[in-house]
Amino acid sequence: MSSHVRYHMCCTLVDMRKGFDGLAGLVRNYLNQNPQAGDVFVFLNKFKTHIKLLYRDGDGFTIFYKRLEQGRFDFLTNDSVSRELKKEELLLVLGGLKLRDFKKKRDTK
C-alpha cells in the first residue's frame, strides 16, 4: 500500500454480511466516494465486535475482516457520514488499544 493512501471510517454501523459489491456500493452511494480510488474504507458492525476494511489495489478489491473474541473496537461513531483516520489510529485500534488513552505529544520547541 502506498504512503498516500487515505483511510475513511464509515460512521454508520454496517451489516457485516455485505461483501465486495455491497461495501463498494456503500462507499459510492452513502459515503459519496469512489471505491476504486485506492483508499481504504473501514466499516464496523452494530456491536463494534467486527470490522471490515475495503481496499482496491491494481487488479481487484481486497477485504480485511476481523472479529474480536472479547471486547469491542474503540472507534467513536458520530453524526457525520464518515471521517478520515490516520494510519496510526487504525493500527492502534486493530491492535486492541483505545484511542482515548493516547494523546498526541506536543512539540516542545
The residues, ordered by sequence, that sit 6+ positions from 11 with a Cβ below 8 Å of its Cβ are: 77, 78, 79, 80, 81, 82, 83
Q: How far is C-alpha 109 from the chain's CA centre?
A: 34
Q: Tell me the pTM.
A: 0.86
35 contacts 24 by C-beta, under 8 angstroms: yes
Q: How many CB atoms lie within 10 A of CB 16?
A: 19
**What is the pLDDT tens value at each position of the chain, 109 positions in all?**
556 899 999 999 999 999 999 999 999 999 999 999 999 999 999 999 999 999 998 899 999 999 999 999 887 666 788 989 999 989 988 887 776 666 566 666 6
Alpha helices in the chain (DSSP H): 20-29, 87-94
